[in-house]
Amino acid sequence: MPLPYVLLSAAVSLDGYLDDTGPERLLLSSPADFDRVDDVRASVDAILVGAGTIRADNPRLLVNSAERRALRVGEGRAEFPLKVTVSGSGELDPGAAFWHTGGAKVLLTTDRGAARAHALGIAAEVVPLGAELDWWAALAHLYERYGVRRLMVEGGGTVHTQLLREGLADELQLVLAPLLVGDPDAPRLFGPGGYQRGRLRLVETRRIEDVVLMRYEPTAPGTGSRASAADRHWLALACELAALCPPSRTAFSVGAVVVGADGTELARGYSREGGDLVAHAEEAALAKIDATDPRLPAATVYSSLEPCAHRASRPAPCARLILDAGIRRVVTAWREPDTFVVAADGSGLLAAAGAAVVVLPEYEERARRPNLHLPG
């Protein structure tokens, strides 16, 4: 199920707080950083905050720059991004600025919350999502019903914590402000819980006046048949690797990456790597890992094309090599067409042996791109 690209945005004090406990919102960013946030807002389809942030800060969440709004309209987009909030209780102030500024608004809530929001006269489209609010369903709803492809999440800590823990955050834009809060009752950015083990990937740092912006991406693969945001990043890398393959008219160009459960890259490879004219991508990557590496059983293989099930050039097809390595999870973009082997079904072979196979068709076009010269 395709989901929006989810960008978490927050500013924190040096001691990791989102706010203090005073009645006024604590200003952590600098003026130039507020302008950067305005620019990010202008770039997205929707902005989401939790009900706690509406209650604490009464934010308007607008694109403030008239030029940026005009640019959106010129591109055929709404003047303001859709504003979205989540609440289980529906206990919201109908007079809050959130409902009465900007463009369209949506409240994602529970059945109970929807009844309460209707009774309060909340001026938004109220969407009940069942007895509990499931983030996967909520994001899928934003994608399908409102066409949200890029979602900016502006807090607060409860919402950020859940999205990161569930593997739904594609990116974290964190601003570190040079001040200290020092109040244990103040809200923190991330609460306790089961986050990904291992390290996130630092993709950018930028000084903006006296604050520092850091951009991170999660790295830990999802589990089972659900695709996490990190799964999508790794599969995109596999598709990029396919472009490195020496050209061939008789074999696919494929890229592959093997990633440990904590998000550590174990190896990568691509078809015909190193001048071996029959080498497959998964085979090339696996050959770089010690077969006794204890991280293999919990690893995920990302392959732009599903691992092969039949092979004339080597004794074992890639699906078999993956299973023999002890790996039980594969994420791929493209099911193998009948170009060279009719009804190849590497995914079926893997699944029959108990492996989880996740196919993300939204990456198929990228996986096909280095193969467009092939027949069919």
Ligand X SMILES: NC(=O)c1ccc[n+]([C@@H]2O[C@H](COP(=O)([O-])OP(=O)(O)OC[C@H]3O[C@@H](n4cnc5c(N)ncnc54)[C@H](OP(=O)(O)O)[C@@H]3O)[C@@H](O)[C@H]2O)c1
Q: Note the residues at the interface with ligand X (CB under 6 A).
A: 10-11, 18-19, 25, 28, 49-53, 56-57, 86-89, 91, 133, 154-159, 162, 187
Tokens of 113: 């919350």
- The pairs formed by 70-75 with CB atoms below 8 angstroms and a separation of 24 or more are 71/42, 72/42
> In the bound complex, what is the minimum distance in angstroms from residue 87's beta carbon to ligand X?
3
Least distance CB 163 / ligand X (angstroms): 9
Least Å from the CB of residue 109 to ligand X = 7
Token pair belonging to 58: 């009464």
Closer to ligand X at the Cβ: 11 or 301?
A: 11
| In the complex, least distance from residue 107 CB atom to ligand X, rounded to whole angstroms | 10
Query: Which lies closer to ligand X via its Cβ, residue 87 or residue 196?
Result: 87
Q: Are 52 and 229 in contact (CB under 8 A)?
A: no
Interaxial angle between packed helices 31-43 and 66-74, expressed in degrees from 0 to 180 and rounded to the nearest 10: 10
With residues binned 3-state (H G I as helix, E B as strand, rest as coil), the percentages for the chain, rounded to 5, are 30, 20, 45
Query: Is 241 within 8 Å of 304 (Cβ atoms)?
Result: yes
Assign 3-class secondary structure to 337-362: CCCCCCCCCHHHHHHHCCCEEEECHH
Helix (H, G, I), strand (E, B) or coil at 16: coil
Closest separation between CB of residue 108 and ligand X, Å?
8
Cα–Cα distances (Å) from 128 to 37, 86, 146, 260, 340, in that order, read 30, 10, 15, 38, 49
What is the three-class DSSP state of 96? coil
Nearest to ligand X of 25, 310 (CB atom): 25
CB of 164 to ligand X, least distance (A): 12
Q: Report the nearest approach of ligand X to the CB of residue 23 (Å).
A: 11
Strands (E), 110-148: 125-128
User: Residues 266, 282: contact at Cβ < 8 Å?
Assistant: no
Contact (Cβ atoms closer than 8 angstroms) between residue 285 and residue 259: no
Q: Which is nearer to ligand X, 50 or 260 (CB)?
A: 50
To ligand X, the closest distance from the beta carbon of 6 in angstroms equals 14
Measured from the CB atom, is 131 or 352 closer to ligand X? 131
